[in-house]
Structure formats: C-alpha cells, structure tokens
Structure 1
Amino acid sequence: MSGLPIRLQQVADQIPTGASVLDVGCSDGRLLAWLRDMRQVDGRGIEIDAERVAAAVARGLSVVQGDATHDLAAFPGGSVDYAVLSETLQAMEAPHKVLAELVRIGRRAVVAFPNFGFWRVRAHLALHGRMPVTRSLPVSWYESENIHFCTIADFKALATEMGLTIEREAYLSGDQRVSSWPNLRADHALFVLSK
C-alpha cells in the first residue's frame, strides 16, 4: 500500500521516477513528500495557506507561499517536467489562466478535480434544490474554498478551446475506476495535458 489516498495515488501514478515537479496548491506537501521518497522526484511546491506551507517545509520540502492565480508567472517556462494541480482547480480565481501557466511551466500538466456532473450531485440538486455535501466536497457550500465548479465535459471543452492535448485521462467514483459515461458516473477526474 502506498500510504496515499487513491486520488493522490492516481496523480502520483502519472509522474515517472526522477522527474521534476511543481505542485501548485500543494497543501501540506503529502504528495510531494511521497514523490520525493518513492520516485526520487525533484519537487517544489506553491501553497497559499501559511500553515500548510509550514507543514510542507517541516517535511523537508521546498515550498513557497503564494497565490497561483498571480504568482505562477514568476516561474520560468519549461522549467519542470510536470506541473501538478490536484483538487485545486475549482478554488482558483481564474482557472483558465492557471491552466495556461501550468502548461507553460511544465512540459506536461496533471490536473485532478471533483466532477460536478456526477449523478449524485445532479440528483441531490434535483431532489433537494440545495448544493450537496459529498465525499469530494465534505463541507457546506458557504464553507467551501471552491469558487468555480465544473464538470468533466466543461473541462474537456476548455482544454479544446485552449488548444491543449489531452494525453491521458482517468476517472474515479469513490475508490473505483470508471470507464464509461464518466461525466455522469465519476465523482473525480484526472487529466494529463500538454501544449
């Protein structure tokens, strides 16, 4: 067992041994620490929350405090093999701008996010008329850091509009992989992108 939750393991599985990584919105550095220890990755992180930055630095990681929407422009283009944005896209002030920065900084971008097209989310809205509390988003709408909800179909359309190549995609419902009808059946999505 890897010690990572399946959603983070799914991201980690996209990163080869020895790669260089920038983890955007890296939280407490759990993913970066695993990649460093298990894949000998040269990793860096950026995180907006000072307490999470301190926790990541305490793990021996190179993490700076910053706001991805505004601070990614300071990173040189093509400076890492993989730019990672895991469970953070929906919290970005300008997701399309952050996505453009990811594919500029990294040769590839790994993006993972909760799918708001998931059938349980749709059913809850239809039956109750209120935003659901789900496994992916375990707090009420007013407690959430999320400001841009999207579906898998929305994300694919944005990638196409931006001229990005989707190299790989993977979907989960809970801890199970989903292969058919992901926009309806998956509560979580992962994409590997390039220019």
Structure 2
Amino acid sequence: MKIINYLLNAFGYYSLRDFSTTVFKLFYLNKLKFTIPIIITAGTVSDLLQQYVGLNTVCVVALVMLCIAEFQTGLRAAIVVKGERIKSRKIGRMILKLGVYIQILFILNSFASSVKGEIAGFEINPFGWLYYVVLAWIVCQMLISYFENLSILGYSEAAGIKGVILRKFNKWFEFDGTKDADNFNTNNQ
C-alpha cells in the first residue's frame, strides 16, 4: 500500500482514497441511490431509441422539442389571437401525435433493418429511403405548423419561411392542398 501511495503522491494525490474520490466521484456521491438508476435508464432508453426507432437521442430530443414548441405556439395563438379557451385535450393530442410519429418511424425502421435485397450487385432497400422520406415529412409538417403559429402571433418572418418550405416541399408532399398530382413530373416554374 505504501508503494501505491508513493506513486500516487508523485501525481499530487495524498492516498488511494484521495485518488478514488477524485477519479470515481460518481460512486462517492451522497445521492447515489438516485443517480445510478437515472444513468442506467437514460442509457437504456437511448439504446432502444437508436435500435428500434432509428434515431439517436439528440434527434429524438429535437423532435420532442419541436413538438412542444409547436404545441406551445399553437396554444398561445389560440388563446391570445383567437380568444379560445384552454382545453386539456390539446396536451393529449400532442402526446398522441408524437406517439404516432414515433410508432410510424419504429415500423419503417424495423422493415428497413430487416428487409434487404440485391439486384445486379446493388443493395436495394425500399424501406430505407421510405423511412427518411417519412421522417422528412414529419419534421416539415411540424415546422410548417410551428411557423404558421408564429405568423399568427405576429412574427412576419415566420410566414416567409413557411412559404419557402411549402414551395419546396409541395413538389413531393401535399402540405397545403395545392399539389397537382397529375403534373408531378412537369416543371411549372
């Protein structure tokens, strides 16, 4: 033990206990009973999201934050501008919408991970690209709703940004009912 303390002393530690409390500080916290389960749960949820939904934790947090921002601005627009009363159903609607989006991504990611084919030496995965198309559709739909709410609240820049998104993505998706499916491949600019 003297040799270990001597070596640690060369690095500025007084003893093995001093070294342990500095390097492994997490294990010496008073709230360890609460810290370890939170860390294990966060790691498990992160791994499950990555494996089953196909999104890393940062992306899921961004998706949840976008959903909350869209809900908050929609609520504020309904109360302040339109004069509507707060309804507790709106929170349930937001949670249900987020759950449905994650379920759709889970299903597509499951197919994309499981179904793979090969034609002439090229890997073909129709569910892989469909997953990303649907993810882009979900994010764009939420962004459009968010910018619509901001424009109702009086942010004039939001209406312009919403218009740009609608013009670009109405080529593939029908966000505002103006997509002409018969002229999908023609250039009407």
**TM-score, length-scaled by structure 2:** 0.19
The structure where strand makes up a greater share of residues is: 1
Structure of larger gyration radius: 2
The structure where helix makes up a greater share of residues is: 2
